[in-house]
A and B are shown apart, each in its own frame.
Chain A
């Protein structure tokens, strides 16, 4: 070990140096605490053996100076004392000494004390190494987390990027709100015109949220796109409109149960089409929240009471297409159940009835104002709020 001996008595310095050198240690000498402190700052001493009473700076003061300095490595301190008594021991320990040795020095005793010092220093060293290792692990974890975070943020903008941007069609006006719970989510929707007479649409909520739900929702976007393999089996025309939604749901259910390993994920959806010539709405309900329909003839928003098996939960389920009149002035509203987990200022959850009332209030307004009204009333789109679930809402207006 590198040892610093601090004593104002020259003979004591020499005796200690001789004993310690014979034990195989490297030794330097200092005449008082202040001299010692200067040497400690320049050299790497593992051990300091210091006298108690010295001119300029005494042993306990040197102890405190070393401890307060917070050196990068641990310095083990043995205080030498001719004095005995509990009070001195407390005083010395309090100043930061690790051990004591009494004068006159007995070689065997000092040897044992040095072995104890070595054990403590070894432990300190192992601890320092482990801490260093933990710190490096911590840094690489933070770096990995940052990378994932950045990826998720990019994924979020890509996920929003697949959502349709066109909102005006010849006689239909569409609008939507989309807000994932954690960057990306399992909600998705789409709509596109088949021709001048038909608009195909769907609103989907994949169970759970997060990365795997989001990837499944992207997968569904592909499967259900106009060029997707499920969609392409039969062509959607006005003559098969009444069968198309339920058949597509059955095919999708088959696909999810037999072709795709979705883990525990499944989905609820409403999927259908508007025929603007017949002025009819056709859709299939697969366990999605019950949609709302505004009837321009009586001026009321009605909840459409319909139920259905979710997709991908159980194989070989049957689905039916629901048909409703959809005259000019009608509005069809689909949403995911994330809205029903929002809290009202009173602390209660937002209910279907609350949503129905909010929609009734703004029925005279165009679609985009409906969304901004709901944003305000439901506190949507607020930054920095973690949603319990993804939120999506899709409205289709027959503008006439």
Chain B
């Protein structure tokens, strides 16, 4: 799985550089982000703007990461679109995650 991370202010931005987020990706995604948490990162923006397809196992992995973070930090989903955004709506996960249209939108309150 291709994922790149960079830091901007308080936030660590993890960008998924894959078109499909499916069962092959889910365990690696979970390991990668939980490693960030183990390293002490608490505010994560997950940029999924390149993702065109997401399956139930990847959604499950995201929710278990959100549970892992709990009240200690944020997991913000940035750039969901098309059928990926539809999946968040269908499962009401758009009410559970903080969803923003882009990484910049996630960082805005920081600049204000």
Contact = CB atoms under 8 A, between A and B. Distances in A.
A287 B92 contact: yes
Interface stretch (B5-13, B40-48, B56-64, B101-109): B56-64
Given A208-B23, A314-B96, A389-B55, A265 B91 contact: no
B38 interface: no
A309 B64 contact: no
B90 interface: yes
A313 interface: yes
Nearest to A388: B22
A160 to B, nearest CB: 22
A349 to B, nearest CB: 8
A309 B88 CA distance: 10
B98 interface: no
Interface string A201-213: 0000101110000
A224 B17 CA distance: 41
A266 interface: yes
Contact of A207 (B56, B89, B96): B56
Contacts of A307: 89-92
Interface in B55-106: 55-57, 59-61, 63-64, 67, 83, 89-92, 96
A290 interface: yes
A389 B56 CA distance: 10
Interface string A334-366: 000100110000000100000000000000000
A337 B53 CA distance: 12
A169 to B, nearest CB: 30
Interface residues of B, number: 19
Interface string B1-43: 0000000000000000000001100100000000000000000
Contacts of A337: 55-56
Q: Find the residue from B60, B61, B63 having the highest chain A CB count within 10 A.
A: B60
Q: Find the residue from A266, A268, A290 having the highest chain B CB count within 10 A.
A: A266
A264 B55 CA distance: 13
A264 B91 contact: no
Nearest to B96: A314
Interface in A252-267: 264-266
Contacts of B57: 207-208, 264
Contacts of B59: 207
Interface in A359-400: 388-389
Contacts of B89: 307
A340 B61 CA distance: 21
B91 A309 contact: yes
B23 A287 contact: no
A207 B61 CA distance: 11
Interface of A: 205, 207-209, 264-266, 268, 287, 289-290, 307-310, 313-314, 337, 340-341, 349, 388-389
21 contacts: A205-B56, A207-B55, A207-B56, A207-B59, A207-B60, A208-B56, A208-B60, A209-B23, A264-B61, A266-B56, A266-B63, A287-B91, A289-B90, A307-B89, A310-B56, A313-B60, A313-B91, A337-B55, A337-B56, A349-B53, A389-B55
Interface of B: 22-23, 26, 53, 55-57, 59-61, 63-64, 67, 83, 89-92, 96
Given A205-B56, A207-B60, A266-B60, 10 more contacts: A207-B56, A208-B23, A307-B89, A308-B91, A310-B91, A340-B83, A341-B53, A349-B53, A388-B22, A389-B55
